[in-house]
Structure 1
Amino acid sequence: MILTVDTLTKRFEMHVLDGATVVGLDGVSVNVRDGEFLAVVGPSGSGKSSLLKCLYQTYEVSSGSIRYHPADVDLATCDDRTIMRLRGSEIGYTSQFLDEIPRVSAVDVVARPLVESGMPAESARERARDLLSELGLPGPLFEAYPATFSGGERQRVNLAQALAPRPRLLLLDEPTSALDPETRRLAVDLIRADLGPETTVVGVFHNHEMVEALADRVLVLGDGRRRDLLPVAEFEGVVA
């Protein structure tokens, strides 16, 4: 087991609504196995992105625990130094939106986490080129700035950046929402080929085909609560 999530709750205080409380997650519990691909699905507002942001400690947890077993820490309560160390070495996260760095080329955006971890710059850039090529980004764009790209092109750079370090735990929040069907197929092929059993993935998806192609199990959320957890072979219906 790599993660044990126990009665995880996240509440948001809405100051613009006179302090009204909105529940993002309501007592969600789930165990995530080493090396598995857990897809998280549910309608908009069901708590999918909130779950990933709590796992990454982007959101402060209201109550509950997130036991990350390799480091023997609770991600819900560990200090900033610990979470920053884990983000730099073991836990990766990407959303559907690229956090663009001004005047940095696409290949260097993808290579950056590898260089920061100690890989020689040219080796890191070579891996970045390989990933971008596998995702169908045209070669002339490798040295261009992602700020000038289309939404789908930026998302390819974002996904390549997430895959590049092969983290122990990878959190993917709708990483293919802007991709056309052919590029989604390329993304599926790349994820399957590039990530080995040493990487565990928790991924939010709206596309049913992506879930069927990648997931081992499916966590279904609704109104911030766990509605179901089942093998992907038993998952039916449209991902909302």
Structure 2
Amino acid sequence: MTVLSVDGLSKTFDMHVLGDTQVVGLDDVSFDVREGEFLAVVGESGSGKSSLLKCLYRTYDPSSGEVVYHSPDGDIDLASCPDRTVIDLRGDSIGYTSQFLDEIPRVPAVDVVARPLIEQGVDREDARSVARDLLSALSVPESLWQAYPATFSGGERQRVNLAQALAPKPDLLLLDEPTSALDPDTRRAAIDLLSTYLGSETTVVGVFHNTDVVDAVADRVVVLDDGRLQRVVPTEAYDEEVVLG
């Protein structure tokens, strides 16, 4: 079963500071994402990876094309549906995390991670228990669980960010380089968690710059180059000579 159908997706940016020059971020990208699979998006720096995820999440409005989410209640084109529909899906079905934590002032890390569960109606203590388990699995020291993430290192913030995204187990999870600031040991912990925590009920589309992560978690690989789709291949057929950025 297909969960997401991307058809002819394009995105151009109007660069007003450069005399209204148009820069192509994505050019006629098409692929499908299957239920329960982990699809990795790779390519050189500037190839359009993050632009793709932001269009899927509707942080960016696509210039053209369709992004059809095949929800249990029917098909929804994320490229053109009302903003209210997008907001509702973000609160319930579609999750997203970037490599940077959107910090909430004076909120402890454990409550940052628990927040999306509480917003879904989970009991606060049950949500905090899940949060503690995720922080522990990602090797965030227990001494930091009650501390404010604004004081954390880049890698610690990234782990809190990833834990927050994983906690509610959304139907579709979009990950934008969630392990870029991690050292090899904590990256391995993140890989293990991505492989075991979500299970088959969550479909994942993730941008990665590390071949070890791709090899460990991905079922298929989307290769982008200069905003264009080059190929979609099984991970075992993925050409590791592709430069990741």
Name the aligned partner's letter for residue 229 of structure 1. Answer: V
- Percent identity, aligned pairs only, is 68
**Residue 196 of structure 1, CA deviation:** 1.0
Q: Which residue is equivalent to 1:191?
A: 194
TM superposition score normalised by structure 1? 0.99
Gaps of 5+ in 1: none
**Residue 228 of structure 1, CA deviation:** 1.0
Any idea what the Cα deviations from partners look like across 1:144-198, whole Å, max 9, x if unmatched?
A: 0000000000000000000000000000000000000000100011111101111
- Which ranges of 4 or more aligned residues in structure 1 deviate by more than 3 Å? none
Q: Which residue is equivalent to 1:12?
A: 13
Q: Which residue is equivalent to 2:221?
A: 218
Any idea what the Cα deviations from partners look like across 1:90-138, whole Å, max 9, x if unmatched?
A: 0000000000000000000000000000000000000000000000000
Name the aligned partner's letter for residue 236 of structure 2. Answer: A
Question: Secondary structure at the residue paired with 1:72?
Answer: strand
Q: Which residue is equivalent to 1:75?
A: 78
Query: Which residues of 2 match residues 133-212 of structure 1 at below 5 A?
Result: 133-212=136-215
Q: Which residue is equivalent to 1:29?
A: 30
Name the aligned partner's letter for residue 218 of structure 1. Answer: V
CA distance in 2, matches of 1:60, 1:191: 29
CA distance in 2, matches of 1:9, 1:205: 21
CA distance in 1, matches of 2:143, 2:220: 38
Question: Secondary structure at the residue paired with 1:52?
Answer: helix
**Residue 236 of structure 1, CA deviation:** 2.2
TM superposition score normalised by structure 2? 0.97
Question: Secondary structure at the residue paired with 1:197?
Answer: helix
CA distance in 1, matches of 2:75, 2:6: 13
> Which of 90, 95, 98 is equivalent to 1:95?
98
Query: Which residues of 2 match residues 224-239 of structure 1 at below 5 A?
Result: 224-238=227-241, 239=243
CA distance in 1, matches of 2:202, 2:119: 19
CA distance in 2, matches of 1:191, 1:229: 21
**Residue 41 of structure 1, CA deviation:** 0.1
Q: Which residue is equivalent to 1:126?
A: 129
Q: Pick which of 65-74 and 80-89 moved more.
A: 65-74
Q: Which residue is equivalent to 2:119?
A: 116
CA distance in 2, matches of 1:78, 1:107: 34
CA distance in 2, matches of 1:222, 1:36: 23
Q: Which residue is equivalent to 1:66?
A: 67
**Residue 237 of structure 1, CA deviation:** 1.7
CA distance in 1, matches of 2:202, 2:179: 19
Gaps of 5+ in 2: none
Q: Pick which of 67-76 and 20-29 moved more.
A: 67-76
Number of aligned residue pairs = 240
